[in-house]
Amino acid sequence: MKIQMQDAASWIQAAFVVLLAAIAWLRPMERKRPVTIDVLAAVAIAAIVFARYSSHWLNPVAASALRDWLPVVLLLFPYWQVGQFFTGADPAAEEQLARFDRMFFRILGIKPAKTSIRPAMGLYLELAYLMVYPLIPLGMATLYVLNARQFVNYYWIVVLLATYLCFASTLFVRAMPPRALESYEKFRMPPSKLGALNRVILRHGSIQAITFPSAHVASATAAGLVLLRVEPWAGLIFLLIAVSIALATVVGGYHYAADALVASLVALVVFAATFRTLTVWIGLSILGCVVMYLAGLWRKLRVPSFHLRQARVVAKAMKSRRHPIVAHIVPIRRCNLSCAYCNEYDDFSKPVPTEVMLRRVDCLVELGTSVITISGGEPMLHPDLDQIIRCIRDGGCIATLITNGYLLTPDRIKRLNHSGLDHLQISIDNVRPDDVSKKSLKVLDQKLRWLAEHAEFQVNINSVIGTSENPEDAAAVARRAKELGFATTVGIVHDHAGQLQPLDVHARRVHQRIIEIGGNSFSTFAYYNQFEKNLIEGNPNDWKCRAGSRYLYICEDGLVHYCSQQRGTPGIPLEQYGAEDLEREFHSVKSCAPFCTISCAHQVSMIDQFRDDPRDSLARFFPAQRDRTVPYDPPAIVRFLAWMLLPPEHNHARKRLTEHFTQLALWCLRAK
């Protein structure tokens, strides 16, 4: 009989309780223990069978609701079964867990025994720990409220697998909670009634041992991840609660730090695995996806790391305007192609000496630059490109590369991985090469497949409108990039001064289609409304260009320019460029700005615009629709940040919350 997806949660629960019942008779223990385990399994199976055939006795709505909610009742049956296996703690396991915690806290610079938790924080943490009991049913209720019952089975698949993996691991890791160990260095928690209530519940309802990893943290995180997919704002709230639960388990001494960390990883692994394979048998999906996940573990771990570092860039830019956000640096002007529209290359220049390039990178680091992009020419013609990338990363900057892609091979991509490259962009001009450009999809498709297979860095494919006689080529490029899992953007061809070349009606339609292919992300949505919408209609933009301050272009001669299309201004050597120059150019008016198409200059200016006037910026980024008073529905993360960061003028409580949230965010992101 085939396992249907709508029955997957029941199969998971039935399989696990039966498996534990079978294992019980293989382990030496008192006879009453395996009997208790079998009774629990029998009750669970009976309940599952009853729910499966309940439509014979109940009306369809009631039967469906019973099947949805039954896992809430049965969730702890395996927990009580596992408790029967616990006959005593393993001192060696407890010592290993305690040793990990000591190392972990030492890395964080925390000494638990000397850290006193304030009463308000202690109360919050105890409340968070108490939330582990109603949180999973609340997740179910949230799906009902959101009219998203189609996700109920998916919700239970992720939550049950994450929870039961923790229960299964507990059979092999027998340990008491750290609060029960005299030798464990504990945080100084203030006494409270909530803490006393938690201990009463644990004394009468727990198995008197930890689950490793923490099933509390795993189930809460799993619930938050599922809801994040269904409705981002709800998922963010649940994930915030999950983080609070993880902190509470560690600070309150309910679990080891290792428990909470591994539990979060278990939930992420299960979520990633089931998310990809919801249409296949549940057993094969788990096996296949876990293998896939482990095979590409490092690649997956680098994605959130890169996004976190991007968030730090924005946080640092919001905190101070006295440093460059992005700088382009040219290690070689020569290119292996000769695109007719390009004015940024020659066919004879030698590479800039490596020691000179490294000094220039050091100068940018001293200026406080956050992102350094290597461009050209064709930067991959420089023999020591990897060393330059490593120097950028060693300076604490994000390293990005713009290339035509012709020189990419599997081995070259792996070397870029090893150098620490964060992001790579290729602009593709057409589907087939022509007299204007050889950067075609036909020529580069194999390179893109190699990137999809080997690259550990982020890849963006920029499709360009205006270089090909057929605008549909740009849409074909965007679709192929999306198929391979790459980010995709669209560029508008400019003249040799970086100025707009207007698009016809057909090209505008294609441009809109590419925006839709790329997805309705915050950056795409905001950038389109702020800049591209006017440009494709041939209209000027009203904005303040911060080139020469927040965005720098350093040519092969080491001179600072506004951008690649305004070379010569200000034309000051990088070694002599300082705070006075940054301040002057921050305020200088650029006559080329209204019809500028240089997206890097646009994007950094959006950060300053938001910092200076957040309310007006949001109105620009997410304007009202034409002929309607109802505004566009911005991404959920934007709605949340707007609520958190833009309190009403006369709401002092919200203003204080905003101040604390901002300080916490800057501290977490280590914005200096």
pLDDT digits (tens, 9 = 90+) for 450-488: 999 899 899 999 887 866 678 888 889 999 998 888 888
Whole-number Å distance between alpha carbons of 390 and 358 = 10
Whole-number Å distance between alpha carbons of 314 and 325 = 8
pLDDT digits 0-9 by tens, 200-214: 999 888 888 999 899
Percent of the chain's residues with pLDDT above 90: 43
pLDDT of residue 52: 83
Whole-number Å distance between alpha carbons of 347 and 337 = 8
Q: What SS3 state is found at 632?
A: coil
Residue 291 has pLDDT above 60, yes or no: no
Residue 403 has pLDDT above 70, yes or no: yes
Q: What SS3 state is found at 14?
A: helix
Largest CA distance in the chain: 88
Mean pLDDT in residue range 331-336:
96
Least confident segment among 1-5, 152-156, 163-167, 390-394? 1-5
Assign a CATH topology to domain 304-634.
TIM Barrel (3.20.20)
Mean pLDDT in residue range 365-372:
95
Contacts of 120 (CB under 8 A, 6+ apart): none
340 pLDDT band, cuts 50/70/90, is confident
Residue 280 has pLDDT above 80, yes or no: no
Whole-number Å distance between alpha carbons of 447 and 370 = 29
pLDDT of residue 635: 53
Amino acid identity for residue 160 in this structure:
L
Q: What SS3 state is found at 345?
A: coil
- Residue 215's φ and ψ, nearest 5 degrees, are -65, -30
Least confident segment among 243-252, 326-335, 467-476? 467-476
pLDDT of residue 442: 92
pLDDT of residue 10: 85
Q: Token match 């919408």: residue?
A: 533
From residue 531, give the alpha-carbon distance in Å to each of 44, 276, 295, 586: 59, 36, 41, 19
Whole-number Å distance between alpha carbons of 286 and 16 = 14
- Say if residues 538 and 509 touch (Cβ distance below 8 Å): no
Q: Which two tokens stand for residue 543?
A: 């904005």
pLDDT of residue 3: 36
Mean pLDDT in residue range 221-238:
93
Residue 407 has pLDDT above 80, yes or no: yes
Selected residue with higher pLDDT from 334 and 203: 334
Residue 371 has pLDDT above 60, yes or no: yes
Percent of the chain's residues with pLDDT above 70: 82
Mean pLDDT in residue range 161-185:
89
Q: Is 571 left (phi over 0), alpha (psi -120 to 50) or beta?
A: left
pLDDT of residue 528: 65
pLDDT of residue 529: 65
Mean pLDDT in residue range 211-226:
93
pTM: 0.56
Cis (ω within 30 of 0) for the bond into 353?
no
Could you tell me the residue ranges of all domains in the chain? 1-85, 88-295, 304-634
Mean pLDDT in residue range 598-602:
87
Selected residue with higher pLDDT from 640 and 112: 112
